[in-house]
Structure 1
Amino acid sequence: MDTQAVECQRLSRRFGARAAVSDLDLKVPRGAVFGFLGSNGAGKTTTVRMMVGMLRPSAGSVQVLGLDPISQGDQVRSRCGVMLDNVGLYDRLTARQNLQFAAKIARLGTSEGRERIDELLHRVDLWERRDDKASGFSKGMRQKLGLARALISEPEMLILDEPTAGLDPASIVMVRELLVSLAQESGRTIFLCTHLLAEAQRICDRVAIMQNGHLLAIGDPNQLGSQGLPTFRLRLSGCDSELTKNLALPGGVQLSLVNRDEWRVTVATSDDIEHIVAALVGARIGVRAVIPEQVSLEEEYLRLVGGDGHE
């Protein structure tokens, strides 16, 4: 069996003169919780729509679970639970009826479907509203019902576009815990488009950062900024940018300014920090603190996309 849940090779999609996705090379291993990050217009939703066969690529190829979404779209969609940015519920139906309809499409038996629906309504905290029409649901409640619908067939892979949009903090935590448990319980692949960088860092095995249709970075969310190397924050006195340019620090490392008197350094091994401190002291620079740190996904995201992360 193919070890990749998703594989894109030079995948591109144009809308007239505008390139929404350009030459995307991407691999998502089976069983991973994969975060697809980027601001509005980055190319995330266009990529997802090509993954499920709703859009034909302008160039390149994409495979999902070893299948071509264009020629084998029905098979892809039968094996994937999908929740796009537009949840698309039937407003005249109740929460339970929406799920019953989804269960019929998934060809679940009556007894199996009933048990599955009851389980999911409890799991997404909609049991008390099960007989209320979707037309009266808030955006957050619609998101939760859409997630339950995506799970109705117990799919091999979940493809979720902003599943926590419109949710209150408690519901965001609920969805996060649900996604983690789904991945742990069954080894299910989860492909998650999100703006919430802290959530992605907390639950994803790997993340990719998109901007203007281009892939900027991909890797472990806890190591993306430092490539897995030890990073330290130094509180120094008597140090300025001009002085650091002329410092001969061990291993050729460079200090980068964080704020007025704090600097960051990434080293090959943790032992190297002792030699760097010695070199600073020898240059008559006061070392007030050495703090091990992890570059956050948010910091790396903003460094890559520039500015405040908006295009």
Structure 2
Amino acid sequence: MNNQAVECHGLSRRFGERTAVSNLAFNVPRGSVFGFLGPNGAGKTTTVRMMVGMLRPSAGTVRVLGMDPISEGELVRSKCGVMLDNVGLYDRLTAIQNLQLAAKVARFEKGEGRKRIEEALYRVDLWDRRNDRVSGFSKGMRQKLGLARALMADPELLILDEPTAGLDPASIVMVRDLLVSLVQKSGITVFLCTHLLAEAQRICDHVAIIQGGHLVASGDPNKLGKQGVPTFRLTLSGGDSDKMRRLALPKDGQLTALGREEWRVSVAVPEDIESIVKTLVGANIGVRAVIPEQVSLEEEYLRLVGSEKND
């Protein structure tokens, strides 16, 4: 069996003159949680739609569970649980009726469908609301029901587009624990599009960041920050901003203000921090603490794509 759940090579999609996705290349290992990150309009949903055969690539290839989503789309979708950005529920139906309709479309046997519906509703903590009309559901409850529908397929690959949007903190933790449990106990692969970077760093084995349809970074979320550049947090006293910015740093050194007395310094090699401390002391700046740190996924994401206001 191919050990990659998803394989993208030179994947591109154009809409007229606009290129939504350009030359994407990444793999998603089976039995992992893969985070697909990027601002609104970066190309995440377009990529997902190509993965499930809803859009034909303009160039390049994508294979899902070893299959071509275009020529083998029905088989691909039968092995995937998919929750896109638009959950697409029927407001006039109850929660359980929505899932019963999904079970009928999937052609489950009656007994099997009933079993899967019950399990899915319990998993997302909606069993007690199963007979309530969806029209009265909050956005978070709709997200939970959309996730339950995706889980009904007993999928090999679970593709989720912002599954925690609108959820309260307790429900976010519930979804996070559920996804981790699915991977660890059932070997499911989770492809997760999300804006919650702290959650992505907590549960994802690999991440890919896209901006403007281009892949800008990929790898282990705990090692992605600054691509391994040594970074330290300094707690100082007596160092105003002007004085700090006039300091002569070693080659490739970078200084960033975090607060009135907190600074972050990136250096070429760890030994450079010693000369920086000597420089600070020589400039009558007190050094109260020097702490090695790893830049978070959130900070690296913002460095790579900027704020979404500027996209």
Under a length normalisation based on structure 2, what TM-score does the superposition of the two structures give? Answer: 0.89
Match in the other structure for 2:158: 158
Tell me, in whole angstroms, the C-alpha distance in 2 between the residues paired with 1:298 and 1:309.
16
Q: Percent identity?
A: 74
Match in the other structure for 2:131: 131
Match in the other structure for 2:111: 111
Tell me, in whole angstroms, the C-alpha distance in 2 between the residues paired with 1:61 and 1:308.
29
Uncovered stretches (5+) of structure 1, i.e. residues with no partner: none
The farther-off stretch of 47-56 and 132-141 is 132-141
Match in the other structure for 2:254: 255
| 2:172 is the counterpart of 1:172 | yes
Match in the other structure for 1:243: 247
Tell me, in whole angstroms, the C-alpha distance in 1 between the residues paired with 2:50 and 2:155.
18
Determine helix, strand or coil for the equivalent of 1:141: helix
Tell me, in whole angstroms, the C-alpha distance in 2 between the residues paired with 1:303 and 1:275.
26
**Pairwise CA distance, 1:151:** 0.6
CA contact (8 A) 1:231 1:266 kept: yes
Determine helix, strand or coil for the equivalent of 1:208: strand
Uncovered stretches (5+) of structure 2, i.e. residues with no partner: none
**Pairwise CA distance, 1:196:** 1.4
Question: Residue 93 and residue 308 in structure 1: after superposition, are their counterparts in 2 closer, same or farther (change >3 A)?
Answer: closer
Tell me, in whole angstroms, the C-alpha distance in 1 between the residues paired with 2:288 and 2:138.
52
Determine helix, strand or coil for the equivalent of 1:240: helix
**Pairwise CA distance, 1:113:** 2.6
Tell me, in whole angstroms, the C-alpha distance in 1 between the residues paired with 2:2 and 2:228.
28
Match in the other structure for 2:227: 227
Cα deviation, 1:72-111, whole Å, max 9, x if unaligned, reads 1011101110001111123333211222232334343333
Residues paired across the two proteins, number: 306
CA contact (8 A) 1:255 1:263 kept: no
Question: Residue 60 and residue 231 in structure 1: after superposition, are their counterparts in 2 closer, same or farther (change >3 A)?
Answer: same
The farther-off stretch of 256-265 and 204-213 is 256-265
Match in the other structure for 2:94: 94
**Pairwise CA distance, 1:214:** 1.1
RMSD: 2.3
**Pairwise CA distance, 1:66:** 1.0
**Pairwise CA distance, 1:275:** 6.2
CA contact (8 A) 1:39 1:310 kept: no
CA contact (8 A) 2:92 2:135 kept: yes
Match in the other structure for 1:23: 23
**Pairwise CA distance, 1:230:** 4.5
**Pairwise CA distance, 1:173:** 1.8
